[in-house]
Amino acid sequence: MRINLTVNGQVHEIETKPGDSLLKVLRAQGNFGVKHGCESGECGACTVLLDSKPVNACVFLAAQAQGHRIETIEAVGEHPEQGWKHTSGLHALQESFVESGAIQCGYCTPAMILAAKELLDHYPEPTEAQVRDVLSGILCRCTGYLKPVQAVMRAAALMRGEQVEPLEGVIPVPPDFFGEPPSFSDQIPQSDSGTPAGREVLVPTRLMPRIQVTPEAESWQRVGKPEKKVDAVKLVQGKPAFTADFDKRDMLIAKVLHSPHAHARIKHIDVEKARDLEGVAAVLTWQDIPRVVYSTAGQSDPIPGPLDSFSLDKKVRFVGDRVAMVAAETEQIALQALELIEVEYELLPSVLDSAEALKPGAPILHDETEYVNFAESDPSRNLAAEVRIDIGDVELGFSEADLVFEDEYEVPKVQQAHIEPHVAITFWDEDDRLVIRTSTQVPFHARRQLAPVLGLPIKRIRVIKPRIGGGFGNKQEVLIEDVPAHLTIATGRPVIYEYSREEEFIASRSRHPMRIRMKTGVKKDGTITANEMYALSDTGAYGCHALTVTGNTGHKSMALYVGDGKYRVSPNIRFYADIVYTNHPPSGAYRGYGVPQGFWAVERHMEKIARELELDPIEFRLKNSIREGELQPFSTAWSEGREPRPETIETCGLEECVRQGRAAIGWDQKFGVSGWRQVPGQPHLRKGLGVALVMQGTAIPYLDMGGASIKMNDDGSFNLLVGATDLGTGSDTVLAQMAAEVLGVPVDDIIIYSSDTDFTPFDKGAYASSTTYISGAAVIKAAESVSLRIRQRAARMFNESEEHPPVNQEDIRLVDRQAISPDGRTISHSEIAHETLHHADQEQIMGVGSYMSPVAPPPFAAQFAEVTVDVETGQVVVDNLVMAVDSGVIVNPLTASGQIEGGMTQALGYAVCEEMVYDSDGRAREKDLRDYHIFQAHEMPGLTTIFVETFEPSHPFGVKAVAEIPLDGVAPAVGNAVFDACRVNIDDNPITPEKVWREIMKIDEGQG
């Protein structure tokens, strides 16, 4: 059918099908700013304005839009950078989103701007509650909404013609600023009424983190400054920056048939009818492609885990496992073809409980002969990996304790829920090389790992990573690229495969659920004498990241509390883990990489011990926690894929984090104060405070490597090529800042590009909180070699004049786009570039750097939570989260604080509502973003971030990791706050109203 659509003021006559969504049609017309995040109106990424009202284009039929005015992000603001055109520039909202750091991956940004625009068109003076309300229809998994809300408020002020304060980025405070709680507590965002459910909102938000500035950073021009994200302008304009924002003539659509059974053998599969369907280009089953065993975990070589996966297999091991793949001219035909595939299954007994899976006689998932063991894996026992670490003499430590505390804890399977689904496009280029354009965190690992699977040499594969709409570890998996690649190989045509939201839930990866047993020996004075953890971890049907995620669970969380006195010198720590196969969908990497699971158990356990011994929970923790100058106790016992080597903690700002955080949350005025616990006039409500101390790692020592190259251009600008992958974190920006600092130029003179396996140097990819540290060090090395050459050429140019004393290159400074001699003469970068490229002894000034770290300096943090519990219903409302973080020097406080806010928000879901549940047949309960609830803008507590800077000596700019640590402490801090409020211990998160209510009932009935 032909319809007329008026899009951004232009009428288009479009051929469409009756069932086509407006989303599909708009994107087909090139309006790539309209994003796909689901198919059922839940995420809001597809928001457009229809007659000035926001609608979800994915659930709106294109035909219904005839006769209406449609506005997409492409019509908002103008684009002053486009050649000779001089226009008025970005809309105030776009400007404000850019300046305020409201963009991380940017996938939700066009929708947010459109929704906010509609609000401001009608309400030029909105309240924060109104802004949050209008943004509540658009899910953002990255930001925690704080900065987007502030960006809208700021834009509203700008549009009203008001003066707004310039964003200087940081609030530098003297070290004792937060040390005066009474004067500061008035400024703390307070919850309004404490009404648990459906409160209208809201607490004031703050745009900027508070930060203690490291003295070393004070002289820097670019590092430590809130520079705008280098990709922000294109993202606020909805430019076609993401994987799927790309068209290729004759592109086929891929779909996969997923298993309806948890465990079955494929006895017979008949695809003839599907192949005969008009418009179907290929149907592939396990019989049609090479049988190559591999691991989908995107990790360095050798993969630290078993090889147990096939692109297609004759056996299925979970509901959602692959059965067949199809490529067709349209999505509809592809889906129709899936229905025509006839499969005869031989059902096998399944095992869904990790303890059952280890028992003799349990159904065995991996009986294939091709299985390749890694270390202790044993498929005949459903054991994907095991960890056995003993440090010191644990039994002696227990025998020396006055009391031994034992308890069990449980953590659920949860989803990364990035808004951009997994998506990959494959095609042959003109040299018959396979191009894979994919939303991946690990382009170089993907190329290496896919080569044998596809039967192509590495040199015939090119992986391109465009902008990524969030990944959070789920794209550290070579998860779907093989599907379109096999289909391109089979058909010779370009193929796109994009997960639906349901596929994200049933057939991607998730956080490992675990049962964790803790045993801790303690003296009466609170000295920990021995600490033991056993984790039973469910890797699901495949062992991707099985060993490394669960290894990290103990490696980080059990390293924090070493004990005091002689135990501090020689701690007694045991960490054992079994990582088992079950017929659940596979677990994998999720931001925090095993550590949030560990800290749920450790920090709930520490709280119980402190309460039982009537010790101050903070003092008890600090008495036993690791300190600067001490050995990371696990460093000599365990390392990912390499020999362990001793590592000393060079910097630890944990005590200062505690001091700042407790002041910011008002701990001393509230904790243990019975009057504060009560909410006046609401006897069913109780308030509580909780704390958790946490540590993470920075990169993987002696293993992961990053590379960078820098080339100088005629005008003194630089191309910086990195293999590192910015998945929305802002890593491209901080890498550009470091290069700019070394080269003495503004950040916009650094044209950064990441990543393309044909052009950019190798990098292990974005994981393990390593990009700023590892890839950053590589960038600095490359920049320093360019700087050296610039200074050498500048010295030569200075010395052409005989009127001045000779200049040595080492005395030349690079500042403000110029080389400055000791006597104050200057030569601009562009003059040097012209000289070297065109005039004398021509050369291309270029530098290459690569870096691998011998250490993994841990960031530390103190996480505080304030909650209100309704003791009649069990409802928990988190009112405030305060996180004080030692991540070393903060290269960009704007992007780093966004990481903390977004991370805390994800962790808040882990604390109170996120959970993936399966029925007894292994079928998922949560298949969409309605059933799987992630926090929305109007539900947020107050978020406060404080950076306590230390200078990590192993990095030129003193940095440590930021990205993962905010996932670690929120859940236990909330759990501890719930105990503080109503004296119930919830040992298995999420802390749902039902669990709290049941525990309260037990107390009321005298069982608690």
- Cβ-contact 495, 327 below 8 angstroms: yes
How far apart are the C-alpha atoms of 31 and 240, rounded to whole Å? Answer: 8
Shortest Å, Cβ 964 to ligand FES:
16
- Least Å from the CB of residue 38 to ligand FES: 4
What 86-95 contacts at long range (C-beta under 8 Å, 24+ apart), as own/partner pairs, is: 90/233, 90/236, 90/237, 91/117, 91/155, 92/155, 92/158, 92/159, 93/117, 93/120, 93/151, 93/152, 93/155, 94/233, 94/236, 94/237, 95/155, 95/158
- Closest CB 856 distance from ligand FES, rounded Å: 27
For ligand FES, the closer CB: 242 or 345: 242
Residue closer to ligand FES by CB (options 104, 772) is: 104
Q: How far is CA 592 from the centre of its chain?
A: 8
Nearer to ligand FES, 498 or 607 (CB): 498
Least Å from the CB of residue 245 to ligand FES: 14
Q: Give the Cα separation of 245 and 475 in Å (integer).
A: 18
Q: Closer CB to ligand FES, residue 229 or residue 509? A: 229
Of 379 and 902, the one with the shorter C-beta distance to ligand FES is 902
Amino acid occupying residue 576 = Y
- Which of 35, 222 has the CB closer to ligand FES? 35
Query: Residue 63 class from Cβ within 10 Å (0-12 exposed, 13-18 middle, 19+ buried)?
Result: middle
Nearest-angstrom CA–CA distance, 244 and 177 = 48
Closest listed residue to residue 652, CA positions, set 860, 823, 455 = 860
Smallest gap from residue 983 Cβ to ligand FES (A): 38
Q: How many helical (H) and strand (E) elements, i.e. helices and strands, does the chain have?
A: 27, 33
Smallest gap, in angstroms, from Cβ of residue 102 to ligand FES? Answer: 8
Q: CB 174 → ligand FES: shortest distance, Å?
A: 33
Written as one letter, the residue type at 811 is D
Specify the 3-state DSSP secondary structure of 866. Answer: strand
Tell me the DSSP string of 239-308.
-S-BTTS---TTPEEEEEEEPSSSSEEEEEEE-HHHHHSTTEEEEE-TTTS----B--B--PSSPSS-B-
Closest CA to 98 of 165, 172, 155, 19: 155
Q: Cβ atoms within 10 A of the Cβ of 346, count? A: 12
Query: CA-to-CA distance for 516 and 514, rounded, in angstroms?
Result: 6
CB 143 to ligand FES: min, Å: 5
Q: Which is nearer to ligand FES, 40 or 185 (CB)?
A: 40
Q: Closer CB to ligand FES, residue 112 or residue 797?
A: 112
- C-alpha distances in angstroms, 994 versus 180, 702, 872, 1001? 39, 46, 11, 10
The token duo for 698 is: 């920075």
Q: Residue 504 or residue 886: which is nearer to ligand FES going by CB? A: 504
| Nearest distance, CB of residue 337 and ligand FES, angstroms | 24
Residues at the site binding ligand FES, with contacts judged by CB under 6 A: 36-38, 41-46, 56, 58, 103-108, 140-143, 419, 470, 728
Of residues 45 and 981, the one with the C-beta less far from ligand FES: 45
HEC readout, 360-407: CCCCCCCCCCCCECCCCCEHHHCEEEEEEEEECCHHHHHHCCCEEEEE
Cα(494)–Cα(488) distance, rounded to whole angstroms? 6
Which strands make up the sheet holding 47-50, listed edge to edge?
Answer: 10-15, 2-7, 69-71, 47-50, 53-56
Residue found by looking up tokens 């700023």 in the block: 772
Most distant CA atoms of the chain, gap in Å: 95
Amino acid at 604: R
Taking the complex as a whole, how short is the minimal distance between the CB of residue 114 and ligand FES, in angstroms? 13
* Nearest CA among 750, 731, 748 for reference residue 739: 750
Smallest distance from ligand FES to CB 129, Å:
20
* Contact call for residues 86 and 24 (beta carbons, < 8 A): no
Closest separation between CB of residue 470 and ligand FES, Å? 5
| Residue among 589 and 884 whose Cβ is closer to ligand FES | 589
CB of 105 to ligand FES, least distance (A): 3
Alpha carbon distance 4, 351 (integer Å): 54
Residue type, 853: S
- Shortest spacing between CB 591 and ligand FES, in angstroms: 13
- CB of 29: closest distance to ligand FES in angstroms? 17
Q: For residues 100 and 709, which CB has a smaller minimum distance to ligand FES in the complex? A: 100
Q: Least distance from C-beta 74 to ligand FES, angstroms? A: 17
CB nearer to ligand FES: give 417 or 705: 417
The residue among 859 and 898 lying less far from ligand FES, judged by its C-beta, is 898
Q: If you compute the radius of gyration of the chain from its CA atoms, what whole number of angstroms results?
A: 28
Q: State which residue, 44 or 412, has the beta carbon closest to ligand FES.
A: 44
Closer Cβ to ligand FES, 37 or 990, answer by number: 37
Residue 899 · residue 731 · CB < 8 Å: no
Could you tell me the smallest distance in angstroms from the CB atom of residue 326 to ligand FES? 23
Nearest to 773, CA basis, from 896, 878, 680: 896
> Of 300 and 905, which CB lies nearer to ligand FES in the complex structure?
905
Of 46 and 327, CB closest to ligand FES: 46
- Residue listed under structure tokens 């990195």: 722
Measured in whole angstroms, how far is the alpha carbon of residue 772 from the centre of its chain?
14
Q: Read out DSSP for 882-897? A: EEEEE-BS-S-HHHHH
Q: How far is the CB of 103 from ligand FES (least distance, A)?
A: 6
